[in-house]
Structure 1
Amino acid sequence: MFVGRRKELESLETAYQKGSFQFAVVYGRRRVGKTSLLRVFTQGKPHVIFFTGQQTVASENLALLSREILGDSAAGAAFPSIQVALESVFEHAKTEQIVLIIDEYPYLAESDPGVSSCLQTLIDRHKDTSKLFLVLCGSSMSFMEHQVLGHQSPLYGRRTMQLRIDPFTIFDVALMLPDAPIERVIELYSVVGGMPLYLSQLDGARSTQWNLEHALLRQDAFLYAEPQNYLLQEVRSPAIYNAVITAIANGYVRSKEIADVTHLATPQVARLLDALIELRIVERVTPVVKATKRQVIYRICDNLFRFWYRFVPQYAGTIEEGLGAAVAARIAKHDLSTFVGPAFEEVCRQWLMRQVVESELDVLPKAIGSWWGTNPNTRRQEEIDVVLEDADGELIVGECKWRNEPADVDVLETLMRRGTLLGRPIQRYYLFSKGGFTEACREKAAQVNDTRLIDLEQLL
């Protein structure tokens, strides 16, 4: 089932309708749905060449590319080189519009390191006369950002558009899980995130506990092995990356803490963290306002990795004994509510940004995230779950409560008190609550201008 990606499809279609030479770079993490997007884009178009690079030698990639260009009727025929094959497509596109998609371009470039220079020459020679719609697509974030889009690449400056395909937000997750009630949508999102392939492994009509048991906590489940397999594909020494991710999952969120617990040198930890950030597994986080150097922390931003490293290592032996159902029951009963909390905060931030995009909230965001710091009066650490800073420096702040009980007036009062710690004008307060709100909380909100109470029904 293909859902979402409306903006990406519109961008590709708008470029295609120009009828002139176009060079699109499409990239994003594995499993994020790049190939599905391009398949949908090419549906109904008369002249499409869709080639997928293989992790093999150049001669095999040449044979496969030749087959895609020449068609099945020319079985066994092949161009003498990849350059000649590509030259033929550029020449043919002088008389009719052709879409040439090279998926997994890093594999092709690895087998034939000169292919980027070849494309540079062909683009420079033919861009004014060719109607070719060229798409280079890849999952290696580092390669695509540095070797295709980067200034050191022969292709630098040739692209006419680029699309970074990100995981789904909670709104598209809900479309992929149409049979799930809102609470379950958020729970499942907190467990696997917004990767379409991961979501396709779930059954929204079944309970979260059932999905934990059958989709994640079985040795034969695709998602059970996915984090480890992903690292094996993307990095050369998975063991040390494992150590860093495990440290963060266990609450060691500062660079020095990670170095101490992993017994790795601080410069090496910095390089590993940079690589994990590039892979979109880890993110570097600071408070939205009034941040200091000492407040830099790292957290796992991929929800499947966050779930896996939080639970699987400690229960691996039990799962391998076939007791995944018991593990799922324990997690659902004792840990799930706390685990969902941080993901719920992200859901609320996504909702706030959607309000801006849909003109329901008239602000120009400069940054959105959270805030934490020391209360100078009490010397205690305090935090605010949602902080949006607008272009004028004013703030919108919010508190997120993932619990069954209605949020009471004290929660709203605490948010208002903490807002004063930021030293900026507060435009609006938001209180997000899974369990709704007490009457006292509603009365207090009605008395304070620019205060909004948002329950799950309003979120999705």
Structure 2
Amino acid sequence: MKFYNRENELAILKKADKLKEKHSIMTMLIGRRRVGKTSLVLQPFSLGITLYLFVSKKNEALLCEEFAQEISLKLEVTLFGKITKFEELFAYLLKIGKKKSFTLIIDEFQEFYKINSSIYSSIQKLWDLHKSTSNIHFIACGSIYSLMKKIYEDKKEPLFGRADFKIDLKPLKVSTLKEILQDHNGYSPINLFDFYVLTGGIAKYVELFVLYDSFDEASMIDEIIAPNSLFLEEGKNRLIEEFGKEYGTYFSVLSLIASSKTSKTEIESILEKNISGHLSRLENDYNIIKSIKPIGAKPNAKVQKYEIVDNFLAFWFRFIYKYNSMVEAEAFKRLKEIVKRDFATFKGRFLEKLFIELLKEKQIYTTIGNYWERGNKNEIDIVAIDEIDKKILICEVKLSAKRLNRDALVQKSVNLLKKFQGYKVEYRLLCIDDIEGF
């Protein structure tokens, strides 16, 4: 599959790469697993030499031996003696960087924590000593969000404040997903919606469905729920390492959110335990959920809901994790029947999320979100506010146009509009067919 989008991220990498001719530059690149970080850093944004090192789960001495071979090959240098400490290798790279400029990519940078956490202090010490006299663009790339944030954003950590540039790689945009489907003759509004629901714009999932020529709901579900499917263990593979020993509680919380138990009170009543800390870490440390407050709510308001940020993970927790016994029993036909039975109900809330993403791409509105009142009364699917031109867009979103009701939408917005007096109001009724040309 060809490389899509990422113009803004490539522009940052090109800018940083150009600046390395003055002195060494450090870029921090984070993003969830499968989002396309490695594909991005391996794009030809640099005209010079690029050295790519992958931190695998190995003993430090073995890792250094592997790195030394790659350094000799790519930088055309001879390393004398056996190097067993990464500190020695990094010092050597900075020494080379004083004679020739190059780009250094270290992928899965957070894995040094498990190999030898003192490596970060060594990097900081050497970087501070030699940054101004060497010409390296050092890209530290990581997928364990909590650890990468700790490494670069915790004031107690040695590399705090050392990054010159930061890229938080997001999933592919809806407009890019549409382009991909069009390029592979798979586009229709309903296909785009289902493609968005099941991939969430995560590059690896997009790539797999393109490989399988699966662009509609039925064929994508057939690929996900099948013997030896790469998707079945995806939630475990992505999250157990990040959560550690407490993954069971985190998985229970995420499973409930995926099943529409979206308030803290609901979740705690089912689990019969306080999960304030878990929700906070899931949002702020792991970036897996986000809290949503109604438009116009005060910052300290406790009226909020939670949603899983990653669409596929929401699907995985709703269907794969929930019915894991069927996966273990290899009852794939029966599980597929359950998914196809419940999928329409599950995906309904993602249509408003898709339209919100499309509104964000327009870059017109200063605030976009949802609205509801206490007790979940007067729920409005989308509220978009333009504070500069004093305009407000109020939308109802349904899978079927037959269920849309403008009069009911106007009535539900009465209390909301009291907070935005003087604004020009536009009401819109949106269904799947409105994706085209939105």
Please tell me the TM-score bracket, short chain as reference.
0.7 to 0.9
The residue type equivalent to 2:372 in the other structure is W
Equivalence for 1:29: 32
Question: What CA deviation, in whole Å up to 9, does each residue of 1:210-256 have, x standing for no partner?
Answer: 21022x11241111210122222211132221211122233332223
Instruction: Look up the match of 2:71.
Output: 69
Query: Could you say what secondary structure the match of 1:295 adopts?
Result: coil
For 1:343, the equivalent position in structure 2 comes to: 350
CA–CA distance in structure 2, aligned partners of residues 241 and 205 of structure 1: 31
* Code of the aligned partner of 1:29: R
Shift of residue 175 of structure 1? 3.2
Q: For residues 111 and 282 of structure 1, what CA distance do their matches in structure 2 show? A: 29
TM-score, reference length from structure 1 = 0.83
TM-score (norm 2): 0.87
Q: Is residue 294 of structure 2 the alignment partner of residue 293 of structure 1?
A: no
**Kindly, what percent of the aligned residue pairs are identical?**
22
Q: Which amino acid aligns with 1:27?
A: I
Q: Name the structure 2 match of 1:419.
A: 413
Q: Select the residue among 360, 384, 397 that pairs with 1:401.
A: 397
Counterpart selection for 2:383 from 364, 384, 387: 387
Q: Distance in 2 between matches of 1:327 and 1:103?
A: 37
Give the C-alpha shift of residue 99 in structure 1. 0.5
Whether the aligned pair in 2 keeps the contact of 1:52 and 1:103 (CA below 8 Å) is yes
**Is 2:418 aligned against 1:458?**
no
Aligned mates of 2:215, 2:385 — CA distance in 1: 39
Cα distance 1:417–1:190, how it changes in 2: closer, same or farther (>3 A)?
Answer: same
- 1:346 positional shift: 1.2
Distance of aligned partners of 1:80 and 1:290 in 2 relative to their CA distance in 1, 3 Å threshold: closer
Q: What amino acid is the match of 1:14?
A: K
Question: Is 1:17–2:13 an aligned residue pair?
Answer: no
- Classify 1:435/1:243 alpha carbon distance in 2 versus 1 (closer, same or farther; 3 Å): closer
Q: Is the 8 A contact 1:67 1:78 kept in 2?
A: no
The 3-state SS of whatever aligns with 2:239 is: helix
Q: Does residue 253 of the first structure (1) align with residue 262 of the second (2)? A: yes
> Using the alignment, how far apart are the partners of 1:152 and 1:228 within structure 2?
30
Q: Does 1:132 align with 2:136?
A: yes
**SS of aligned partner of 2:437:** helix
**Aligned-partner residue type, residue 7 of structure 1:** N
* SS at structure 1 position matched to 2:436: helix
Deviation at 1:391, TM superposition (A): 4.4
Aligned to 1:108: 112
Equivalent residue, structure 1, for 2:123:
119
Q: Which residue of 2 aligns with 1:444?
A: none
CA deviation digits over 1:117-170, x for unaligned, max 9?
222222222222211111111111111111223222211222110101112221
Q: Which runs of structure 2 are paired with 1:42-53 in the superposition (5 Å)?
A: 45-53=47-55
The superposition leaves residues 294-343 of structure 1 with CA deviations (integer Å, 9 ceiling, x where unpaired) of 412222222112212222355545555655356445544x4333322221
Residue identity matched to 1:396: I
Q: Is the 8 A contact 1:177 1:204 kept in 2?
A: no
User: How far is 1:194 from its partner?
Assistant: 1.7
Unmatched 5+ stretches in structure 1: 437-454
User: Is the contact made by 1:29 and 1:279 (CA closer than 8 Å) also made in structure 2?
Assistant: no
- In the alignment, which residue of structure 2 is the partner of 1:434? 431
Amino acid at match of 1:413: D
- CA change 1:210–1:326 in 2 (3 A) is farther
Q: Aligned equivalents of 2:376 and 2:238: distance in 1?
A: 40
After superposition, the C-alpha distances for 1:391-431 in whole angstroms (9 at most, x for unaligned) are 459552332433343576xx233333333321214434252
Q: Does 1:172 align with 2:181?
A: no
Contact 1:337 1:402 (C-alpha < 8 Å) held by counterparts:
no
Q: Quick one: which amino acid aligns to residue 250 of structure 1?
A: S
For the Cα contact (< 8 Å) 1:407–1:435, is it kept in 2? no
Distance 1:330 1:257, change over 3 A: closer
Q: Distance in 2 between matches of 1:188 and 1:351?
A: 15
Residue 383 of structure 2 aligns with an amino acid whose one-letter code is: V
| Counterpart code for 1:284 | S
Cα deviation, residue 79, structure 1: 2.7
Q: How does 1:223-242 map to 2 (within 5 A)?
A: 223-237=231-245, 238-242=247-251
Sort the Cα spacing of 1:413 and 1:204 in 2 relative to 1 into closer, same or farther, 3 A: farther
* Aligned residue in 2 for 1:370: 370
Aligned-pair Cα RMSD in Å: 2.7
SS at match of 1:119: helix
Structure 1 range deviating more: 291-300 or 11-20: 291-300
Change (3 A) 1:330 1:85: closer
Residue in 2 aligned with 1:152? 156
Secondary structure in 1 matching 2:11: helix
User: Aligned partner of 2:277: which letter?
Assistant: R
Comparing 136-145 with 163-172, greater Cα deviation is found at 163-172
Three-state SS of the structure 2 residue aligned to 1:293 is: coil
4+ runs deviating over 6 angstroms:
none
Other-structure match for 1:222: 230
**CA-to-aligned-CA distance 1:436-457 (integer Å, 9 cap, x gap):** 5xxxxxxxxxxxxxxxxxx221
Q: Which range is displaced more, 133-142 or 33-42? A: 33-42
Tell me if 1:87 matches 2:91.
yes
Higher relative contact order (CA 8 A, sep 6+): 2
> 5+ unaligned residues in a row in structure 2: which ranges?
none
Find out whether 1:283 has 2:276 as its counterpart: no
Change (3 A) 1:182 1:250: closer
| 1:167-214 residue CA offsets vs partner (Å, 9 max, x unmatched) | 222122223433322211111211231211122222455531121022
Matches of 1:234 and 1:418, distance apart in 2: 42
CA distance in 1, matches of 2:162, 2:244: 31
Shift of 1:31: 1.0
Query: Retained in 1: the 8 A contact 2:190–2:432?
Result: no
Give the 3-state SS of the residue equivalent to 1:151 in structure 2.
coil
Relative to 1, partners in 2 of residues 1:217 and 1:205: Cα closer, same or farther, differing over 3 Å?
A: closer
